[in-house]
Structure 1
């Protein structure tokens, strides 16, 4: 029987496969036991696990079934690999004394014992291997042992740095300083790996070699990685080699780009201390400067810091001709916009146009960033009538915003600010078809129909469970009580409106056209009214059956009142397209000719907006009436 490894073409003979007793003794560092097991060997010398022994030697080894110092595991690791990985210095010394060839033996992944001990970070074992290597092998072989690479191209220093073993890395640099400048198969230096391990000690150890390489993947250097890891490492790297701050990766990004994207101002300040003002004006392959990157991520403090260091960088444009304010508006970062508005030195870029003629306001409208639009318009410093190179004003681009509700809010805000549409023949206006909201209506109608059916069922079943129950004559015990009569009326209204809502919603599902909108809106109001009436009926039924002198009955009154009040506030805030002042200006305003023209244009292109705003007002009125009813009902007994 022979053992194989998936990555090895040659098989391991039976007599060279490490026996369990020897492996356990080497793993546990039992030097005496290993010596005893090796001492019981037949004395047949086998030079290498890759060289087949003579038939006589194999027969002798099989006959005695003894352990051999050249036995290997399934991964072709020798006894020295096992002992080195566990840091057993005494056992390492014994094995090296018996056979120094084990120092350069490589397993299936190309790791030598020095790789194993470096990966585990055993400093003492590193010194032991280095000492025996110097004492027992010639110079060329010594270099191979100390600076050898595994199949991934890693030296022992790469492994120690990758795993953050600072002391081990320090010893390896002292033993073979040239390893600090070696790159592995992925183009990464030990310094880059030390930074990625977040070990300051490992970084210091590698930096002790002045010729160390800082290279990383994709043309990055160690500083690119350090700015996202540890401010202390950033300081160490910049003190070691300042030019790292201006080196570019494969996307032409500097470490300052990386630091600006993270927004850590302590790191940004440290980099700026070691760079000239021109460093902030370096642009990546997309034309983005560090200021653009900070604005894209919404790091206002970083934006302020970069502009303080280099005010001229505010004028830098990317490949699309956009300033940092353009990209901040696109991403909806209100804090960056607010800072720019307050800074007198940035006034000139508030209305700057990109390569397509879009101002920050244009881009904010396209992206549907309502808060940014509000901030820009409220400042009074932004011109809302500027046309881009396609002839569109921000008003014209509102139809491209994402979502119906967002579009309503933007158009209302632009109307209040006095924005203008582009000049256009009115018969050429294309009415907004609202395909998205038609789909939303179809999906919503299905679920609302289920809700309205449940409400009708519950309200109908309440007639068989009247408050106070029924008497022997089949009549309600509370007949004649004002609260009972109120319950009957509210329950009747709840049943009626929920049935009406169900019918209208089913009709809308069948029609699936713009004509179904009135029925959908009426159904929404009917369903909301049925829910309110059912809630009031439930509340009245509780009050009706309680003792008149029970002071505790005021508690459910307050709970329901405040609960509905909070619900109303949340729903109103979520559905209100703007301020009350703005809504009233849109509905009853229009005294100026400009306002009247804008309103006519909106009604022609966006007829649903007027309907939506009107229904929001109706919703608010119905809810306020419900709150008033609860307050009145709670005091009926008094």
Structure 2
């Protein structure tokens, strides 16, 4: 029998003719005089829905009130085998009842199985265990459903009937692994505490165990599992990865656990540091760098060290390499007992440490021969990027040009001795304002000219890259100058009447420049601690120098702006 509907309500009534009447939402197969389908008990209960659900599945899913419990009992009385019969997904009625949260129905189904065992004089509760341990097509028991929905009451109920249930399935995803993945710590503890002799399955998909999942979650879970079973730390999954290799995915992990060697390598020869660098997780890289037990120079099966992998991630072959050149981090490489300076350009993981390169030819691997198709794509990227940046460059040039001839404070009247000149001329802030607008206009104009060259397809591609890089540098400098001009202009107007507000505006404005560089500043701050651990104060001094160099590169317009204002003020007072 098959029926389709948005809802299904089953009501069974046994009459003296041993027939079953069923009311369903949808289209019945056969109707009686009162539009109620009347079928024999056998033919009715053997039917299934299009999903493969029997009447037992329907009743178990849609409620656990008195009528539903009675229906379940009546169905079992007519067709006991349906209690263990799976639907199209392999789910038994017990799977459906647990998934729907029908706790009374769950108890009813288990009680029915217990009645069968008692009637068969079964001392080992075979039917109950068969029902509870029945796996669906996903290799999951009803216990998995209870864990998934966080129904700890049902978890306890199932384990009460079968204390060995958490051992199943013996291969695949265990209920413990699922509870760890779902961050359900209380359920995980319940599974172990209520299991016979605290024995349960730790298995997970792809040969993993529960510890592989725990290191992706919280430290408390990891510590808990290690107390239960220390051997989990040495087990490898089907790819040869231990739980330590999985730890690099957890970006919030701060400490490396002492439960296993930090130098283990998977079947690719990757250590945890290799994996963290490959995925660009800077915080995990820094956490590993901060532990002196981590070897930085172990090579994988291709002879690559973590630093080699970092270099292989450089987006060369396009103009990004030139942009990154201006913001690249100086890497101090420890080779053969001597420090050597090398530049590494990496957009997400500036690996700065005492690490060595492997022996492979990176000149060829990082700069592979380019095809005409590669150059065509790079040319298109340059053209598209040029159009976007050109809008900003022209906008800055237009604003600063207008600001130069619409000065704060206005101009002196024509009958004045210096008629037509700015009223605020001769002040320190005015000189700084004029220099700021001038630099903003010059830098944005240079950026516009370079963007024009970088966007012309007929120009040689390497030359276009250089022009684009120069345009980015001057465009950022023009932004810095524009921010300074705005702050100085507002301060000139407000200072005579509201000096405090003018100062507050000047203090707030630099946050625009800081926001533009927040990513690099955050990375350098994260990098400081592991560098100090590895290389001492010398590394701190070097990092400080790098930071100051970056600040100088970003803020050179401010030096000229306020330096010029100071010079003119000095000249006026010493004439």
TM-score interval (norm. to shorter) = 0.5 to 0.7
1:357 and 2:303 correspond: yes
Displacement of 1:513 in angstroms is 3.7
Change in Cα spacing, 1:573 to 1:419, as seen in structure 2 (3 Å) is: farther
Given candidates 167, 178, 188, the residue that maps to 1:234 is 188
Deviation at 1:114, TM superposition (A): 3.6
Moved more, 474-483 or 322-331: 474-483
Give the secondary-structure state (helix, strand or coil) at the position aligned to 1:278: helix
Q: Work out which of the residue numbers 230, 237, 248 in structure 2 matches 1:284.
A: 237
Does structure 1 retain, via aligned residues, the 8 Å contact 2:491–2:505?
Answer: no
2:158 maps to 206
Gaps of 5+ in 1: 8-22, 49-68, 80-94, 387-392, 580-612
618 and 154 in structure 1: CA distance in 2 versus 1, 3 angstrom threshold: closer
The offset of 1:190, in angstroms, is 1.7
Give the distance between the partners of 2:270 and 2:151, measured in 1 at CA: 40
Name the counterpart of 1:157.
Answer: 94
Please give the secondary structure, in 2, of the residue aligned with 1:245. Answer: coil
Specify the alignment match of 1:585 in structure 2. none
Aligned match for 2:269, one of 312, 318, 321: 321
| Partner Cα distance (2:471, 2:549) in 1 | 15
CA distance in 1, matches of 2:279, 2:483: 42
In the superposition, relative to structure 1, how do residues 554 and 622 fare at CA in structure 2: closer, same or farther (>3 Å)?
A: same
1:74 maps to: 26
Larger radius of gyration: 1
**How many residues in Structure 1 have an aligned counterpart in Structure 2?**
498
CA offsets, 1:540-591, max 9 Å, x none? 6656667x8x3414632x2453244334445566679998xxxxxxxxxxxx
Deviations along 1:410-437, one digit per CA (max 9) or x if unpaired, are 6xx57xx69789799x9xx989999799
Instruction: Write out per-residue CA displacement over residues 176-235 of structure 1, whole angstroms, 9 at most, x where no aligned residue.
Output: 124223333444322222222221122222223337586569832322212223223323
Correspondence 1:618-629 to 2 at 5 A: 619-626=554-561
1:258 matches 2:210 = no
Partner of 1:116: 58
**Within the alignment, does 1:182 sit opposite 2:143 as a pair?**
no
1:562 aligns with 2:507: yes
- The answer (yes or no) to whether the contact 1:196–1:225 under 8 Å persists in 2 is yes
Q: Say if 1:534 and 1:279 are closer, same or farther in 2 by CA, change over 3 A.
A: closer
Equivalences for residues 482-501 of structure 1 within 5 A: 482=425, 498-501=444-447
Q: Spell out the pairing of 1:315-464 with structure 2 (5 A cutoff).
A: 315-332=263-280, 346=293, 349-367=295-313, 383-384=334-335, 402-403=346-347, 442-462=383-403
TM-superposed CA distance for 1:622, in Å, is 1.7
**What SS does the corresponding residue of 1:204 show, helix, strand or coil?**
helix
- Alpha-carbon offset, residue 319 of structure 1: 0.5
Q: Is the 8 A contact 2:176 2:201 kept in 1?
A: yes
**SS state at 1:194 partner:** helix
Give the deviation of 1:284 after TM superposition.
Answer: 0.9
The verdict on how the C-alpha distance between 1:128 and 1:626 changes in structure 2, with shifts beyond 3 A counting, is same
> What CA distance in whole angstroms lies between the structure 2 residues aligned with 1:130 and 1:181?
20
CA contact (8 A) 2:146 2:155 kept: yes
The answer to which of 360-369 and 499-508 deviates more is 360-369
- Following TM superposition, by how much is the alpha carbon of 1:47 offset from its aligned partner in structure 2, in angstroms? 6.7
- C-alpha distance in structure 2 between counterparts of 1:274 and 1:539, whole Å: 62
> Could you say if the C-alpha distance between residues 635 and 316 of structure 1 is closer, same or farther in structure 2, counting changes exceeding 3 Å?
same
Counterpart for residue 245 of structure 1? 201
Q: What does residue 194 of structure 1 align with?
A: 146
8 A Cα contact 2:177 2:202, kept in partner? no
Distance apart, 1:156 and its partner CA = 1.7
Q: For the residues of structure 2 that align with 1:394 and 1:286, how far apart are their CA atoms?
A: 36
**Aligned with 1:184: secondary structure?**
coil
Q: Which residue in the other structure is 1:52 paired with?
A: none
In the alignment, what sits opposite 1:224?
Answer: 177
SS across alignment from 2:510 = helix
Contact kept, 8 Å, 2:94 with 2:106, in 1: the verdict is: yes
Q: After superposition, what is the alpha-carbon deviation per residue over 1:49-87, rounded to whole angstroms, capped at 9, x for unaligned?
A: xxxxxxxxxxxxxxxxxxxx45644254999xxxxxxxx
Q: Specify whether residues 618 and 170 from structure 1 end up closer, same or farther in structure 2 by C-alpha distance, changes over 3 A only.
A: closer
> How big is the shift at 1:516?
5.1
> 1:577 & 1:541 partners in 2: Cα distance?
31
Alignment CA distance shift 1:186-1:237 (3 Å): same
Q: Distance in 1 between matches of 2:224 and 2:447?
A: 65
Q: Which aligned pairs between 1:577-596 and structure 2 lie closer than 5 A?
A: none
Give the 3-state SS of the residue equivalent to 1:183 in structure 2: coil
Please give the alpha-carbon distance, in whole angstroms, between the structure 1 residues aligned to 2:155 and 2:300: 44
Shift of 1:525: 6.2
Partner of 1:168: 105
CA distance in 2, matches of 1:278, 1:207: 25
Kindly provide the CA deviation profile for residues 142-185 of structure 1, in whole angstroms up to 9, marking residues without a partner as x: 41354444444432211112223333212311221242233334
CA 191–507 in structure 1, closer or farther in 2 if over 3 Å, else same: closer
Cross-structure match for 1:297: 250
Closer/same/farther in 2, CA of residues 47 and 632 from structure 1, 3 Å limit:
farther
Q: 1:226 to 1:501 in 2, by over 3 A?
A: closer
CA drift at 1:280: 2.3
Q: CA deviation at 1:450?
A: 2.6
